[in-house]
Amino acid sequence: MELKQTFSKRLKELRIEKNLTQVQLGEKTGISQTSVAKWENAERSPSIEYLVELASFFNCSIEYLLGLVD
């Protein structure tokens, strides 16, 4: 699976596991709901800064978010 699509799937799964809407995730991380939606729909890719923020928030590695490790 392509990195962008793996990231999209994992981001959505992690968000849902925490019972958060895209808006709520954005509020907790300082990321706009629009960005979260575009990432989850594989329309865009996040910058390294946002990857770090998301990995920290979800307590996982960037490698996991990108699908490089399980």
Q: Is the per-residue pLDDT at 1 higher than 90?
A: no
Q: Could you tell me the domains of the chain?
A: 3-66 (1.10.260.40)
Instruction: State how far Cα 6 lies from the chain centre.
Output: 10
Please provide the average confidence, as pLDDT, over all residues in the chain: 95
Q: If you average pLDDT over residues 3-27, what whole number do you get?
A: 96
pLDDT of residue 67: 92
What letters, b where the CB count within 10 A reaches 16 and e where it falls short, cover 3-21? ebebbbebbeebbeeeebe
pTM as predicted: 0.93
pLDDT band at 64 (very low <50, low <70, confident <90, very high): very high
